[in-house]
């Protein structure tokens, strides 16, 4: 990390350093045999252009009932589809479904699984995840900070034995999102 980096990039780099240290300490999905050679995950350079604070459109209570997400192992994961966000990506606005654990009525964060045009080439093929903070605007409306720089691979990207939810069809973006975690072999 360089001292001349802007505060946003420094904050992203510090978060990534903490995550790398967590993995290196054996607290992540890496097999013990991989730890001695682990030097950190691969990431796209932080870019504030991939950060959006957007209104959260909650679904009516009856519509946000259980939603079944498929997983990489064929099992299912049941969550609540809490609402939707409209994200103004470079290729146009896209709607993404956001999820919460069942029964969570006022979440501090929402879960956004997604795939994009980098999936399977520059990023994990099954998709990536965002844990997006929820806040409020001055009128009390819900806002979500969708920061693709914080996109991460699910644990199943690192080895067998993990069950990871797959993004639903409506969360497949047709364009490239070069932000967040990437495969070690992907270009910078």
Within 10 angstroms of residue 71's Cβ, the number of other Cβ atoms is 17
| Tokens at 146, concatenated | 């969708």
| Tokens at 54, concatenated | 């957007």
Q: How far apart are CA 53 and CA 45, in angstroms?
A: 20
Q: What are phi and psi of 43, to 5 degrees?
A: -140, 150
Average pLDDT over residues 84-106: 94
Q: What is the pLDDT of residues 25-46, one digit of tens each?
A: 998 898 888 899 999 999 999 9
pTM over 0.85: yes
Average pLDDT over residues 14-19: 95
pLDDT of the residue at 66: 86
Confidence of residue 104 (pLDDT cuts 50, 70, 90): confident
pLDDT of the residue at 1: 43
Beta carbons of 76 and 70 less than 8 angstroms apart: yes
């Amino acid at each position: 990390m360089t001292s001349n980096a802007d505060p946003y990039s420094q904050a992203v780099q510090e978060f990534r350093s903490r995550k790398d240290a967590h993995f290196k300490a054996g607290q992540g999905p890496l097999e013990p045999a991989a730890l001695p050679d682990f030097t950190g995950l691969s990431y796209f350079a932080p870019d504030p252009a991939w950060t959006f604070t957007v209104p959260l459109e909650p679904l009516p209570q009856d519509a946000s009932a259980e939603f079944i997400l498929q997983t990489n192992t064929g099992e299912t994961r049941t969550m609540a589809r809490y609402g939707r966000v409209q994200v103004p990506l470079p290729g146009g606005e896209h709607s993404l479904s956001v999820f919460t654990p069942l029964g969570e009525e006022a979440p501090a964060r929402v879960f956004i699984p997604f795939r994009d045009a980098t999936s399977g080439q520059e990023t994990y093929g099954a998709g990536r995840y965002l844990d997006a903070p929820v806040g409020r605007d001055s009128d009390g409306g819900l806002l979500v900070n969708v920061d693709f720089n914080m996109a991460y691979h699910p644990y199943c990207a690192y080895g067998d034995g993990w069950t990871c939810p797959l993004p639903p069809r409506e969360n497949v973006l047709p364009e490239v999102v070069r932000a967040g975690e990437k495969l070690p072999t992907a270009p910078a």
